[in-house]
């Protein structure tokens, strides 16, 4: 009985296909079978994929670092009394977007004398803050255009490689003496489709990373604008509190001055003159 079962198991195992002998998908072989233009496209797309991942990781680390530096600097300013007296060189050493805005605002306020009209000084401070916000927005959006170009351009590059590869495969079929069989067409078409696969491998991760980073950039720009508004309010309150009211003479009184009493000697002399005339 045991011998019968072992013989049946051996027959079943012999009937199963051997995985090592079965034909499988070989990506490297498919790449080698591709024509020259397709190979160039695939190599370029692999380079673009590496570039996209480098940009996404680096941008995420930069935004995270700037956000933490901004938070630390804002907390320190909230606990500080008298922003006009703070050192602007120390703010620059902090090397954060909030610190650079603070430096621009304080420098604009100190360029003019303290007896200048606070409204004029505040207008100059607000202009400096607007320029600083614009500069920081440009810094926030750095490399986002490159990432967006990779997202939109990679699929089209892959499609171009596929179309050219298919054209080459069909042209080979049209050559004299070639047979139009599936075995002859399949390797060329598979190699051509490899370019499309490479393009999608670049675009799919990049589009998710681009959308995430874009949302973070928009959020940080909103936080930057709110911080600039808060800083302008603090400086305006300090300027109003330091405003010097010039001295003004009191208005002349319209009440007539009362008559002063006449000294007795003068009064006696006046009486004598009046009696002589009579």
Question: Tens of pLDDT along the chain (278 residues)?
Answer: 434 433 533 443 344 343 334 355 577 777 777 778 888 888 999 999 999 999 999 999 999 999 999 999 898 888 777 777 777 666 667 788 999 999 888 888 887 655 567 777 888 888 999 999 999 999 999 999 999 999 999 999 989 988 888 887 777 776 666 666 666 677 777 778 888 899 999 999 999 999 999 999 999 999 999 999 999 988 888 877 766 444 444 555 544 555 556 566 555 555 555 555 54
Q: Is 276 exposed, middle or buried (0-12, 13-18, 19+ CB in 10 A)?
A: exposed
What would the pLDDT profile of 37-51 be if each residue is shown by its tens digit?
888 888 999 999 999
User: Is-contact 168 187, C-beta < 8 A?
Assistant: no
User: Is-contact 202 52, C-beta < 8 A?
Assistant: yes
Residue 274 lies in a domain: no
Residue 9 lies in a domain: no
Residue 44 lies in a domain: yes
What would the pLDDT profile of 167-210 be if each residue is shown by its tens digit?
877 777 766 666 666 666 777 777 788 888 999 999 999 999 99
Residue 131 confidence (pLDDT): 94
Sequence-ordered list of residues with C-beta below 8 angstroms from that of 97, at least 6 positions apart, any chain: 66, 69, 70, 136, 139, 140, 224
Q: What spatial distance separates the first Cα and last Cα of the chain, rounded to whole Å? A: 178
What residue numbers bound the domain in which 145 lies?
27-243
Distance CA 41, CA 164 (A): 10
Residue 259 lies in a domain: no
Query: With b meaning 16 or more CB within 10 Å and e meaning fewer, what string describes 230-268?
Result: ebbebbbebbeeeeeeeeeeeeeeeeeeeeeeeeeeeee
pTM, full prediction: 0.71
Residue 15 lies in a domain: no
Distance CA 191, CA 39 (A): 9
Compute how many other C-beta atoms are within 10 angstroms of the C-beta atom of residue 204.
13
Residue 88 lies in a domain: yes
Distance CA 224, CA 74 (A): 11
Q: Name the maximum alpha-carbon separation found in the chain.
A: 178
Residue 272 lies in a domain: no
User: Is-contact 147 52, C-beta < 8 A?
Assistant: yes
Chain length of the chain? 278
Listed residue (106, 97, 98) closest to 138, CA to CA:
97
For the record, the structure tokens of 29 come out as 């072989």
Q: Rounded to 5 degrees, what are φ and ψ at 86?
A: -80, 155
Residue 257 lies in a domain: no
Domain tally, the chain: 1
């Amino acid at each position: 009985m045991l011998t019968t079962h072992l013989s049946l198991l051996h027959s079943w195992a012999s009937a199963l296909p051997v995985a090592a002998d079965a034909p499988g998908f070989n990506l490297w072989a498919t790449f080698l079978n591709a024509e020259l233009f397709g190979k160039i496209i695939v190599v370029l797309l692999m380079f673009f994929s590496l570039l996209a991942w480098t940009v996404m990781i680096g941008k995420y680390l930069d935004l995270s670092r700037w956000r933490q530096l901004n938070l630390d600097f804002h907390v320190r300013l909230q606990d500080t009394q008298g922003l006009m007296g703070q050192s602007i060189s120390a703010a620059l050493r902090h090397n954060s977007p909030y610190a650079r805005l603070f430096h621009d605002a304080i420098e604009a306020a100190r360029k003019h004398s303290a007896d200048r009209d606070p409204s004029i000084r505040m207008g100059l401070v607000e202009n400096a803050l607007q320029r600083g916000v614009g500069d920081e927005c440009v810094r926030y959006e750095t490399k986002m255009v490159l990432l967006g170009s990779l997202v939109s351009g990679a699929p089209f590059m892959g499609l171009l490689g596929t179309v050219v590869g298919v054209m080459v495969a069909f042209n080979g079929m049209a050559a004299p003496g070639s047979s139009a069989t599936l075995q002859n067409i399949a390797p060329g078409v598979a190699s051509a489709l490899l370019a499309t696969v490479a393009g999608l491998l670049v675009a799919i991760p990049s589009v998710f990373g681009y959308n995430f980073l874009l949302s973070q950039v928009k959020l940080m720009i909103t936080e930057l604008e709110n911080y600039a508004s808060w800083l302008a309010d603090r400086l305006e309150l300090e300027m109003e509190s330091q405003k010097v009211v010039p001295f003004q003479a009191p208005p002349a009184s319209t009440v007539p001055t009362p008559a002063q009493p006449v000294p007795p000697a003068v009064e006696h002399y006046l009486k004598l003159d009046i009696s002589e005339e009579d």
